[in-house]
Amino acid sequence: MVPKNDPGCGWLNLLPPRSSYPALNQTFDCPWVIIGAGYTGLAAARTLAQLRPNDQIVLIEAEAAGEGASARNSGYLVDSTLNDGHMSENGLSHYKQKYHLNALGVKTVADFVERYQVDCDWNASGKYHATALEKNETKLRTFSRTLDECEIANSLIEAPALRTRLGTNFYRMAVHTEGGVMLQPAKLARAMIEALPANVTLFEHSPVLNWTQSGSRHELTTAQGRLVANKLLVCTNGFIPSLGLKRDRVFPLTLTASLTRRLTDSEFQSLGSPQEWGLLSAQAMGATVRLTGDRRIMIRNTAETLWSINMTPAQLARRVQGHSAGLRKRFPDLPANLIEHSWSGITCISANSANLFEQLSPTLSVAGCYNGGGIGLATLFGEQLAYQASGAQTNEMDQIQQRPTPTWLPPKPFLHLGVKARLIKDRYLGQLER
Ligand SMILES: Cc1cc2nc3c(=O)[nH]c(=O)nc-3n(C[C@H](O)[C@H](O)[C@H](O)COP(=O)(O)OP(=O)(O)OC[C@H]3O[C@@H](n4cnc5c(N)ncnc54)[C@H](O)[C@@H]3O)c2cc1C
């Protein structure tokens, strides 16, 4: 299964077109090949090229570079994640460990943005974890206490103050956490393409269809070309299992989102002219909603396992009805036909929310599976994968390696049924927050 991006991604469609890189149509023999040009592969290629200025590095991408999940995500660069309580000190120390790794991811992106003077609509005003349901209030209060114990700045906000901040009466309580950033994900991905050093050769629209290893060398074939490499880094995230790796550890999840047109002055004023905000639901499968700096509303409220991974236009159209319904619930006074862009994207999940960062052999490494997150971790893991592949050990790598690794998953038919059952349950419980 290879990626097939739909053309509807709002973040991408708001950018000017860029010229494309060539497809692979010959045989290339090179020391390094990286498969997948999302945040992970782009960060790995940039770092490796800087570490090995005399080596030629090939970065090969199935679709347009940076236009998979890395352009299609909701743009939350997060340090803290919702945790509804810890049963022991051990639970708290795990939470702290995860928080510190995420914070390192935020710093890695911030350093990149600073160094390359990237304009990606960076807004460090934090995020809300919110609920419309009374039953989730205890969860949010517990979360706020956990954050206090970890000395992570946060505040509990209740209606009507929340209404003033968000411009909707829908929510009754939220925890606002500082430290997170909202950004335009496609702008960030594009900046990472532009930052590729001259010793990186990028091939686009060249899905790797077959991969064999003979001795220590890797041979990859595409529709029109062939790559032979000494070292291979696999950075295909949701498509890692499609390349025959980690099938019993990680699996793809297909998400959908929509972005409205810009609100008019009077529409915006009817919400009370709020500042830009980003909100995650306290309820699993509840909607992620953002009001952007240019007065658009983004909503993401589906997550599912599909046999085909890639979503058809008809499937996407049905999900968009759910996005519209989610907007109407929150903003009943705005017009019903606000949505301008809708898209699907594929992310990668493990059963225990662990990430992948592994040297599988002296010539083969893989990184991915950031579960709900990934902007910060993918950039961090990509950079660190490059260090690891070139034989270095860093403090950041120590921190990554202290975290749990993905636990075993059952084979596909059972996995799909199990995940589907869980998602159906979460969807049912989360329907009031979708
Ligand atoms: C709708 C949505 C919302 C999200 N929201 C957030 C968010 O708010 N915050 C956050 O931190 N994370 C979010 N994520 C997750 C985040 O986008 C990912 O974790 C991150 O983009 C992973 O980066 P990556 O480079 O590892 O993977 P990707 O961006 O998926 O890149 C992998 C690349 O590999 C390529 N590829 C795959 N197979 C092949 C092949 N056979 N040959 C060649 N190339 C191949 C793909 O085309 C793709 O470009 C979201 C994801 C989605 C889909």
- pLDDT at residue 210, rounded to an integer: 97
In a domain, 361, yes or no: yes
In a domain, 106, yes or no: yes
Please tell me whether residues 205 and 346 are part of one structural domain.
no
pLDDT tens for residues 232-283?
999 999 999 999 999 999 999 999 999 999 999 999 999 999 999 999 999 9
Please tell me whether residues 207 and 232 are part of one structural domain.
yes
In a domain, 1, yes or no: no
Structure-token pair, residue 222: 């595409």
Pocket of ligand 1 (CB under 6 A): 2-3, 35-41, 60-63, 68-70, 72-76, 207-208, 235-239, 243, 255, 257, 300, 345-347, 368, 370, 373-375, 378
In a domain, 342, yes or no: yes
In a domain, 260, yes or no: yes
Full residue range of the structural domain in which residue 119 is found: 76-185+252-351+425-433
- pLDDT at residue 87, rounded to an integer: 65
Q: Which distant-in-sequence residues (6+ apart) come within 8 Å of 90 by Cβ?
A: none
How many other C-beta atoms can be found within 10 angstroms of the C-beta atom of residue 109?
25
Please tell me whether residues 400 and 288 are part of one structural domain.
no
At residue 89, the 3 state secondary structure works out as helix
Dist. CA 416–CA 370, nearest whole Å? 19
Please tell me whether residues 195 and 331 are part of one structural domain.
no
Give distance in angstroms: CA of 69 to centre of ligand 1.
3
Structure-token pair, residue 379: 């950039």
In a domain, 280, yes or no: yes
Number of domains the chain is built from: 2
Give distance in angstroms: CA of 68 to centre of ligand 1.
5
In a domain, 312, yes or no: yes
In a domain, 4, yes or no: no
Please tell me whether residues 287 and 332 are part of one structural domain.
yes
Please tell me whether residues 200 and 104 are part of one structural domain.
no
| Cα–chain center distance at 200 | 24
Tens-binned pLDDT, residue by residue, of the chain (434 aa): 899 999 999 999 999 999 999 999 999 999 999 999 999 999 999 999 999 999 999 999 999 999 999 999 999 999 999 976 776 777 899 999 999 999 999 999 999 999 999 999 999 999 999 999 999 999 999 999 999 999 999 999 999 999 999 999 999 999 999 989 999 999 999 999 999 999 999 999 999 999 999 888 999 999 999 999 999 999 999 999 999 999 999 999 999 999 999 999 999 999 999 999 999 999 988 999 999 999 999 999 999 988 888 999 999 999 999 999 999 999 999 999 999 999 999 999 999 999 999 999 999 999 999 998 899 999 999 999 999 999 999 999 999 999 999 999 877 777 777 777 777 777 767 778 88
Ligand 1, atom 18, lies closest to the CA of 374
Q: Which distant-in-sequence residues (6+ apart) come within 8 Å of 122 by Cβ?
A: 113, 181, 183
Pick the atom of ligand 1 nearest to 370's CA. Answer: 19
Q: Report the predicted TM-score, pTM, of the whole model to 2 decimal places.
A: 0.97
Please tell me whether residues 155 and 275 are part of one structural domain.
yes
Average pLDDT, the chain: 95
Please tell me whether residues 32 and 58 are part of one structural domain.
yes
Please tell me whether residues 125 and 150 are part of one structural domain.
yes
- pLDDT at residue 378, rounded to an integer: 98
Dist. CA 194–CA 373, nearest whole Å? 23
Please tell me whether residues 180 and 283 are part of one structural domain.
yes
Give distance in angstroms: CA of 108 to centre of ligand 1.
17
DSSP annotation string for 408-428: P---HHHHHHHHHHHHHHHHH
Please tell me whether residues 330 and 262 are part of one structural domain.
yes
**CATH number of the structural domain spanning residue 99:** 3.30.9.10
Give distance in angstroms: CA of 14 to centre of ligand 1.
19
Pick the atom of ligand 1 nearest to 63's CA. Answer: 47
Please tell me whether residues 94 and 158 are part of one structural domain.
yes
**CATH number of the structural domain spanning residue 205:** 3.50.50.60
Q: How far is CA 153 from CA 80, 126, 143, 148, 180, in A?
A: 10, 10, 12, 7, 11
- Amino acid letter, residue 135: K
